[in-house]
Structures are given as C-alpha cells and as structure tokens.
Amino acid sequence: GVGMGMTAPVSITAFPAEDGSLQHKVKVSLRIPSQFQANPPCPSDESIKIEERQGMTIYSTQFGGYAKEVDYVNYAAKLKSALGSEVAYRKDFYFCSGYDPPMKPYGRRNEVWFVKE
C-alpha cells in the first residue's frame, strides 16, 4: 500500500544465448528509494522479491535513444569487442540499464554493464 514512484536506473538482467541474442528470460530490478532502504515495504505480489545487490565493479558502455532489445545486444557486442579476451567478466548475464521516463523524447541515457569477475 506504499507508493514509491519510479527510480533510476531500471536494470534488466539479460541472459545471452550462445549466438549473442537474448534468452526469453529476464529479471527487472528497480532501486528501492533511500527512505525505504532500512525497512522496505513487503511486496503484496509474491512474484516480486526484494534482493540486496552486493557491490560490484562493472565495465560499461552508454548510448542514447529509445533502447530496444537489438540495441542492447549490439552495444553488448561492441563492449565485448572493446574489452577483448584479456579482461575477466561474467559471461552468463549482463545488465541493460535505462535512466529516463518513457515520455522523455531527447537526451536519453541507456547503458550495458558487464560485471567484473
């Protein structure tokens, strides 16, 4: 019964297939606002879980526009290429992050994050 509003970024955990496309399973994560961090309200929908994300180091690339799945896949491929084979990062998932409300037409910010191993 508590409204928290929208937070940024909205992170989608993507699970790439061997060909680089995304599997049809994703996890959407929203940051709990600061005032609720110590004692978050319990979700009334059992499919919603509260998880604590541990600190991490990421490799990231940023791009603009209204991001679609193909954009995240393409930028993930570019980031993979830029990092090369010498850099150790998680290959079983990556994060697709968006920072803007849906109605913002210009200056949009999207990112792909690889988690350093």
Task: Give the CATH number for residue 25.
Answer: 3.20.80.10
Please answer whether residues 78 and 61 qualify as being in contact, where contact means their C-beta atoms are separated by less than 8 angstroms.
yes
Task: Determine, yes or no, domain membership for 4.
Answer: no
| Per-residue model confidence (pLDDT) at position 64 | 97
Task: Determine, yes or no, domain membership for 3.
Answer: no
Task: Determine, yes or no, domain membership for 76.
Answer: yes
Phi, psi of 34 (to 5 degrees): -50, -45
Task: Determine, yes or no, domain membership for 32.
Answer: yes
Other beta carbons within 10 Å of 71: 16
pTM (predicted TM-score): 0.88
Tally of domains in the chain: 1
> What type of residue is 37?
Q
Task: Determine, yes or no, domain membership for 106.
Answer: yes
Task: Determine, yes or no, domain membership for 84.
Answer: yes
User: Which structural domain, as residue segments, surrounds residue 110?
Assistant: 10-115
List the structure tokens of 66. Answer: 């209204």
- 57-91: pLDDT as tens digits: 999 999 999 999 999 999 999 999 999 999 999 99
Percent of the chain with pLDDT over 90: 62
